[in-house]
Amino acid sequence: MASIKFKTYMAKGSAASELYITATPMAKASLQDHVHEIFSGIREILHSKKARIFQERIFATQDAFETTSKIRAKIYDDIDDGVGPSFLVSKKAASEEMAGVQVHAVISENVPEVIEDGQKKIGRVMNLPGRTYLSLSCITAPEFEQGSDQAWSVLKEGEFLIKKFGGDFFSVPRTWMWIDDILSWYEQFNQIRNNFFAKCGILDDNTQPSMPASTGIGLAPANGCKIAMDLTAVIEPAGTIKYAPVTEKQQSAYDYGSAFSRASEAITPAGKTVFISGTASIDADGNTTNIDDAHAQITTTIENVQIALKDMNCSDDDVVQIMAYCKTAEVKKIFDDIKDKFDWPWVTIICDICRDDLLFEIEATAVPQRKEA
């Protein structure tokens, strides 16, 4: 019996199609067997669809890093363009060291161009008629010791790389902030990001804030840094990103000091993509609700995500990637009894959320009119 569940969705466009693959363990097996089955399966899907990886994330324990990296490299072999995945360190769930893998791939006669930062291959850019789309993966700043210095540096490095291709942070619909020991310095991180966005003009008092959708979550990069950043950017057509600072149920996160939009919509290689930010059981005033009640936090969070999808003219059936972050194994167990009610490609991860009293968080990516592949 297969130990891995694969969920694959495709969005078709005139010049390119996009492919979303989620692979998660479903039955007990050794780490080596899980990893081998995951990456063999992903390779086969990519080969059968003639697709190329555009962005990839691995969620696993630190102890799984070396084994996973070696097996992945061996299996991918000739399809590996040298851009590493974002390897995010989660807590162990029971005996399982691997939470899952997500891949966003493109299908086109145009080959994604690798972006290099010094000696490191850090992302990819896709050039199509009238469209230029960019991804950066696991930007870190190991040359700095303090998390605050690392945070400023990764934001600056992201901006520098985007500018090389003619964009800036106004070109960014979505960021992911992977933050080690998040509870000890999330407030400090928020101030750093606010200062950076103010410097960029994103938080100019005279304009509508163009804050990317974002997730800030307690997952550390496997290289030992205190913070890493992933992002996507729309270089062309410029000025087309739509931001939703608020939703029907939740006001702007910036009202309580966190500079991100609740959701955004961007033109991507195959059409349009909607990004739903990390969402939790937080009310319109920014207060945590359902304190100490994991079941209620989970159901409220899912409702908040569904409302955000509806506000962005999407439905449950449009979701192509979704992560559920559980504070503890006990919260995950409660969530496991709920999640199958939703036909979504879940990756469930155990990690700290950005507040002590938050037990659960979700983020989602949706593509209108996607099809199962």
pLDDT in tens, 341-370: 999 999 999 999 999 999 999 999 999 978
> Where are the chain's structural domains?
4-372
**Residue 9: what residue type?**
Y
User: For residue 340, what are the contacts with CB-CB under 8 A and spacing of at least 6?
Assistant: none
Max intra-chain CA distance, the chain: 59
Q: What is the pLDDT along the chain (373 residues), one digit of tens a residue?
A: 479 999 999 999 999 999 999 999 998 889 999 999 999 999 999 999 999 999 999 999 999 999 999 999 999 999 999 999 999 999 987 678 999 999 999 999 999 999 998 889 999 999 999 999 999 999 999 999 999 999 999 999 999 999 999 999 999 999 999 999 999 999 999 999 999 999 999 987 666 679 999 999 999 999 999 999 999 999 999 999 999 998 888 888 998 889 999 999 999 999 999 999 999 999 988 999 999 999 999 999 999 999 999 999 999 999 999 999 999 999 999 999 999 999 999 999 999 999 999 999 999 999 997 888 8
| pTM of the entire predicted model | 0.97
User: Which CATH number, 3.30.1490.20, 3.30.1330.40, 3.65.10.10, 2.60.40.150, labels domain 4-372?
Assistant: 3.30.1330.40
- What count of other Cβ atoms lies within 10 Å of the Cβ of residue 310? 13
Using one digit for the tens of pLDDT, what is the confidence trace for 252-282?
899 888 999 999 999 999 999 999 999 999 9
* Cβ contact 7:45 at 8 Å: no
Q: Quick one: tokens of 306? A: 């569904």
Percent helix, percent strand, percent coil in the chain, to nearest 5: 30, 35, 35
